[in-house]
């Protein structure tokens, strides 16, 4: 009797296990993932509303719609998200020319990157009351990533679009170059105004664009602001609406300006809490309680940006460094949570921008 019961239970367990395996969704392929990211940007780069703008008005005629203010980058809820939505499309088209959305991407970029549109964008940057602070530094850094991507894409279209965007690129580099010597302190927040994240993107652009003067200015500024930092309070992170880690972003930035041996020592002083036992639980993955709340949804982006920055930090260390396994393990946990938040259904408060962060991570954009 006992033998019969054991056999029945064994059969039941086998059937149940097979049934569960048959119904559980398989992990999406790289092709499916990149298709999903492309779709998110295509859905929003020319979607004007809902929209939030930061625009100084001094008289009635300054009241305009987003598309009237900046006709190239009016979609995806705000200017900077539109810019990195266009970067996303450029990145996917350049890296995955067989993507099923390739022609839609080309058409979309053609629609945005016209001479008239960029002339109007440049005029907006030149408005007396706008000053040099518009979208500084986050949106400006992403714009340089966009033109950097075009430079690295061996395509006649990319060369054509880069020529069109070049006047606005020149203006942005001039604005940032004017600002950097005046910046007395770094901006250590987990949102758009953080300087460490933006400086990393800008440094990468300076190498791609072979702009040595801008690279030198940035490197001098980065060392002036960050080189003496120690004991970053990682335990205080994250704040409730962060999408960037102040501590980890700074560590990811400094690998770009310090020689390897010097960086390894600096990192030990700056983040002494990185484990040497390979554990991943030293950095807790963030969760979002309400994806319709735009600020709370930032935490999905935090998981993505932490993942790519942890990978970047690990890439700058000797493979035998005892901290590497812990960095890689924590990056893996954050990547899994972050990518899952993008490939499944989400609210527009996240979908208008998270695809860019996911693409940056998935394609290892910041790792040379």
Beta carbons within 10 angstroms of residue 127's beta carbon? 13
pLDDT tens track for 93-124 = 999 999 999 999 999 999 999 999 999 999 99
Domain boundary (159, 178, 197) is at 178
**Same-domain pairing of 248 and 131:** no
The Cα 214–Cα 211 span in angstroms is: 6
* 276 burial type by CB count under 10 A (0-12 exposed, 13-18 middle, 19+ buried): exposed
Average pLDDT (339-345) is: 90
**Same-domain pairing of 261 and 322:** yes
Region of 63 please: left (phi>0), alpha (psi -120 to 50) or beta: beta
pLDDT at 4 over 60: no
**Same-domain pairing of 70 and 160:** yes
DSSP assignment of 268-316, as one string? Answer: HHH-TT--SS--STTSPPP--S-TTSTTTTHHHHHHHHHHHHHHHHHHT
pLDDT of residue 30: 87
Residue at token pair 């994240």: 197
- pTM for this prediction: 0.92
Classify residue 200: in a domain, yes or no. Answer: no
pLDDT of residue 131: 67
**Same-domain pairing of 35 and 137:** yes
pLDDT of residue 128: 83
Provide the number of structural domains found in the chain.
2
Average pLDDT (70-89) is: 98
pLDDT tens track for 18-59 = 334 444 456 678 888 999 999 999 999 999 999 999 888 989
The Cα 298–Cα 305 span in angstroms is: 11
Q: Which two tokens stand for residue 362?
A: 């998935």
Beta carbons within 10 angstroms of residue 159's beta carbon? 13
pLDDT tens track for 267-279 = 999 999 999 999 9
Confidence class of residue 345 from pLDDT cuts 50, 70 and 90? confident
Residue numbers of the domain that contains 349: 228-368
């Amino acid at each position: 009797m006992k033998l019969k019961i054991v056999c029945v239970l064994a059969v039941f367990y086998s059937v149940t296990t097979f049934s569960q395996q048959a119904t559980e969704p398989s992990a999406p392929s790289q092709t499916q993932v990149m298709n999903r990211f492309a779709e998110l940007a295509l859905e929003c780069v020319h979607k004007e509303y809902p929209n939030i703008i930061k625009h100084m008005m001094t008289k009635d005629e300054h009241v305009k719609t987003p598309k009237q203010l900046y006709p190239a980058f009016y979609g995806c809820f705000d200017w900077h998200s539109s810019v990195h939505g266009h970067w996303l499309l450029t990145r996917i088209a350049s890296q995955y020319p067989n993507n099923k959305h390739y022609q839609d991407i080309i058409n979309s970029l053609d629609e945005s990157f016209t001479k008239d549109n960029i002339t109007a964008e440049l005029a907006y940057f030149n408005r007396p009351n706008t000053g040099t602070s518009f979208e500084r530094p986050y949106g400006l850094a992403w714009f340089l990533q966009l033109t950097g991507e075009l430079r690295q894409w061996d395509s006649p279209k990319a060369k054509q679009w880069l020529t069109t965007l070049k006047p606005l690129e020149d203006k942005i580099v001039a604005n940032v170059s004017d600002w950097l010597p005046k910046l007395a302190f770094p901006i250590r927040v987990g949102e758009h105004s953080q300087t460490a994240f933006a400086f990393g993107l800008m440094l990468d652009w300076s190498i791609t664009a072979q702009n040595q003067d801008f690279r030198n200015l940035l490197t001098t500024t980065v060392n002036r602001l960050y080189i003496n930092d120690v004991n970053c309070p990682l335990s205080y992170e994250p704040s409730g609406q962060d999408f960037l880690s102040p501590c980890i972003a700074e560590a990811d930035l400094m690998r770009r300006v310090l020689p390897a041996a010097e960086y390894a020592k600096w990192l030990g002083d700056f983040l002494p809490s990185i484990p040497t036992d390979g554990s991943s639980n030293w950095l807790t993955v963030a969760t979002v309680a309400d994806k319709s709340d735009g600020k709370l949804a930032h935490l999905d982006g935090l998981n993505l940006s932490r993942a790519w920055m942890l990978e970047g930090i690990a890439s700058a260390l000797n493979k035998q460094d005892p901290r590497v396994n812990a960095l890689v393990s924590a990056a893996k946990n954050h990547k899994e949570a972050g990518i899952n938040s993008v490939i499944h259904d989400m609210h527009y408060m996240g979908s208008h921008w998270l695809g860019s962060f996911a693409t940056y991570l998935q394609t290892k954009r910041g790792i040379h």
